[in-house]
Amino acid sequence: MKSPAHTTAPGTTADKPTLARLLDHTADAIESVRSGRSLTGALARCPAEVRPGVHALSCHVLRRLGQALAARNFLVPKAPPKGVDALLLSALALAWPDGEAPYADHTLVDHAVTAARRRHAASAAFVNAVLRRFLREQPTVLEAARRTVSGQYNHPDWWVERLQADWPEHWQALLCANDRHPPMTLRVNTRRGSVSTYLARLSVAGLPGRPVGTQGVVLNTPCPVSRLPGFSDGDVSVQDAAAQLAARLLLAGAALPPGARVLDACAAPGGKTAHLLELADLDVLALDHDAERLSRVGETLSRLGLHARMQTGDASQPETWWDGRPFDAILLDAPCTASGIVRRHPDVRWLRRPSDVPALAATQARLLDALWPLLVPGGRLLYCTCSVFKAEGQDQIDAFLQRQADASRVVDPPSPGHLLPLPDNQSPAENPGAGAWADGFFYALLQKTRI
């Protein structure tokens, strides 16, 4: 039996939710994800007072869902009803003896049974019996889980197979990296202050960190944005170190004059749009097909005191929104599987299906082909995805270069290509030392031949 730090359920005071209530809502979130809906959407339906706790527990469960499924299959060959199953899987994942179990065994079982009574009274004895058998027969159950692919690696079988094919030397490390907690990385608005100055402000606020890249800061411990000095004033934004490469890569060596026309083709939620405007005085068109998400771009720019033209439209159909004037530079942060940011969004691996990869690759190809004619001769297009799958990265660009005779790779600065979220990742000069601190991304900087 484990002896973790918490021996009683946290939050049993009148002003905090009990563990049983958190488990109840966590089970709702897990059931939602297993039904094909995002964790973000599920959390939006949670009462505000339980949302932070449910978010933390849900992420913990999703990082161990493969193990929990394997254990449940061993203990209960026939799956119970969805609502009960989601609670049982959540409890099994939280009880997993990996050194990170947040509650003592007896506390977890007691509160899981209480939650079961709330969800389906007749299931309480069943949940109690399965969890206690798991604790009694733990070595046998763990061995059975390790004999399955998803139980060993906490990813769907097809995901593991694709990483094995794409990254035969790194696939296991990538799977392990996906189960680690991500860092909280900030981008300092250097229009308003330097990185060193902001690090000093963080230190005074009791939030130590270290610099990464040109404008980045990695906090030692994540915190709510409300605690960040100057966040509401636009002094800093939250953005991963790998994502901070986009604006600098597009602008580096391009010698764009003030007022140059730049298209951010899939702009929401606006982090890269804002970064472009922090770095240069540009005429930026922020385009997105989702009007609601595009409103978040406006909110981000307003907080930072920046301005861009915003338009709702499908980037693959320029005839519906383009005014006919070519762009000097285009940023295409294309829709993708998000396979490079699984540690931040652990639901992604369970939401995606094998068919999503070719479908998204086809969308990316349409976007590239549709946007390329909108670029001035000599202009540059930066293609990027937050994916580690080669079908959405190197394979996509190789195919595009075969189709477009007037397209070539920019050699100064060179494109970093695939960036893997691993400790030994060789980051480009623009982002030294990012390594495991950065998400998985792909970048290709392309230039149109001058006439």
Residue 425 pLDDT? 57
SS3 label, residue 378: strand
Q: Which of 266, 336, 384, 386 is catalytic?
A: 386
Give whole-number Cα distances, 444 to 304, 314, 382, in Å. Answer: 28, 22, 6
Which pLDDT score is estimated for 164?
98
Q: What are the Cα distances from residue 333, in Å, to 353, 383, 405, 449?
A: 21, 6, 22, 22
Residue 424: the pLDDT is 62
**190-196: long-range pairs with CB below 8 Å, 24+:** 190/215, 190/278, 191/278, 192/230, 192/233, 192/234, 192/235, 193/230, 193/235
Q: What is the pLDDT of residue 432?
A: 43
Is position 386 annotated as part of the catalytic site? Answer: yes
**Quick one: pLDDT at residue 427?**
45
Longest dimension (CA), the chain: 76
The reported pLDDT for the residue numbered 414 is 86
Phi/psi at 381 (5° precision) = -120, 125
Please state the pTM of the whole predicted model: 0.91
Domains and CATH numbers, the chain: 19-154 (1.10.940.10), 185-238 (3.30.70.1170), 245-448 (3.40.50.150)
Mean pLDDT, consecutive 10-residue stretches, the chain (451 aa), reads 38 67 97 96 95 96 97 93 96 91 93 95 95 97 96 96 97 94 95 96 97 94 96 97 95 88 97 97 97 95 96 97 97 98 96 98 98 97 98 98 96 89 58 63 95 68
